[in-house]
């Protein structure tokens, strides 16, 4: 299926159109007009795991997509516009991700704080970060207002606020002052480079997730996993992810789901 999507998209490659410059308040007004749908039924107590992959599209993304497609699970990709525009090939891979019925795409900013590695400089300009988020939104389905910030485990949702690093506070204050309807989502656990290299680390992550799910209230059994496309460079790393997914698919009442089904938020006309 993935190969067919990529072939079809490569036949239709076109240069990305130049984005028009939109003022901050105009962007907020536009975003406010998007439809926000209720979250899943509050009586639904199924435990959910949200596999999220940041920083793509990347050269390893097709192999990752193929595995996820074989497993027939829902997965989440937080994409970077600058990566999408690196080449026609990157654009085609992104379009394949976006077109896949089991994958959802969300905002990871356009530039990913590319300021010679100076995150502090990036977050010091709160208006610039917001514009970076808006610039990236042109790649997403209409109405998607879910963002993960670069290098920051920050939450801004109706049900959850995580104390932010002081670098991010100006941005959150700006969003609040503008009444911007953007959801900021972080993560609960992380799939690290070591998790992709050692089975013992993958099994440790399984135990960590199972503990979180078993101790959470029934209506809050949700675990968001941070991972990255580039961590799946080898057959061994993909095999560890495959075994991880298999473990939670063995009839134990756990579902892999899209991030917009988190309690408290569900956005997008496209969804």
In the chain, what is the straight-line distance between the N-terminal and C-terminal CA atoms, in Å? 21
pLDDT in tens, 77-102: 999 999 999 999 999 999 999 999 99
Q: What value does the mean pLDDT take over residues 20-47?
A: 50
Domain parsing of the chain, residue ranges: 49-261
* Ordered DSSP codes for 178-223: TT---EE---SEE--TTTTT-HHHHHHHHHHHHHHHHHS-GGG-EE
**Does residue 146 register a pLDDT over 90?**
yes
pTM of the model: 0.84
pLDDT confidence of residue 270:
42
pLDDT confidence of residue 173:
94
pLDDT confidence of residue 30:
41
Decide if 91 contacts 139 (C-beta within 8 A): no
Q: How far apart are CA 77 and CA 99, in angstroms?
A: 12
The beta-carbon contacts of 114-123 under 8 Å, at least 24 apart in sequence, are 114/82, 119/150, 119/151, 119/167, 120/167, 122/150, 123/152, 123/167, 123/168, 123/170, 123/171
pLDDT in tens, 192-238: 999 999 999 999 999 999 999 999 988 789 999 999 999 999 999 99
pLDDT confidence of residue 4:
45
Identify the residue whose tokens are 């490659």. 13
What CATH number matches the domain at 49-261, 1.20.1440.230, 3.10.450.50, 3.20.20.370, 3.40.50.300? 3.20.20.370
pLDDT confidence of residue 41:
62
**Does residue 25 register a pLDDT over 70?**
no
Question: Which residues have CB under 8 Å from 176's CB, separation 6+?
Answer: none
In this structure, the number of other CB atoms found within 10 A of the CB of residue 111 comes to: 18
Q: What value does the mean pLDDT take over residues 15-36?
A: 40
């Amino acid at each position: 299926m993935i190969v067919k999507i990529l072939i079809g998209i490569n036949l239709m490659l076109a240069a990305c159109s130049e984005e028009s410059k939109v003022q901050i308040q105009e962007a907020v007004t536009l975003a406010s007009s998007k439809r926000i749908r209720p979250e899943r039924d509050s009586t639904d107590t199924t435990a959910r795991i949200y596999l999220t992959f940041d920083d793509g599209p990347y050269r390893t993304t097709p192999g990752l997509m193929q595995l996820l497609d074989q497993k027939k699970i829902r997965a989440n990709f937080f994409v970077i516009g600058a990566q999408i525009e690196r080449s026609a090939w990157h654009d085609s891979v992104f379009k394949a991700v976006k077109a896949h019925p089991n994958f959802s795409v969300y905002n990871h900013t356009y530039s990913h704080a590319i300021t010679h590695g100076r995150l502090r400089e990036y977050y010091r300009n709160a208006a610039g970060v917001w514009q970076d988020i808006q610039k990236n939104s042109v790649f997403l389905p209409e109405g998607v207002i879910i963002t993960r910030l670069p290098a920051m485990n920050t939450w801004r949702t109706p049900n959850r606020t995580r104390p932010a690093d002081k670098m991010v506070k100006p941005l959150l204050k700006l969003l609040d002052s503008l009444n911007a309807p953007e959801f900021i989502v972080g993560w609960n656990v992380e799939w690290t480079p070591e998790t992709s290299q050692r089975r013992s680390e993958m099994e440790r992550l399984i135990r960590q997730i199972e503990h979180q799910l078993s101790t959470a209230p029934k209506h809050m059994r949700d675990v968001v996993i941070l991972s990255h496309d580039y961590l799946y460079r080898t057959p061994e790393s993909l095999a560890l992810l495959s075994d991880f997914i298999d473990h939670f698919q063995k009839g134990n009442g756990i579902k892999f789901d899209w991030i917009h089904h988190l309690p408290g938020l569900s956005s997008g006309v496209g969804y």
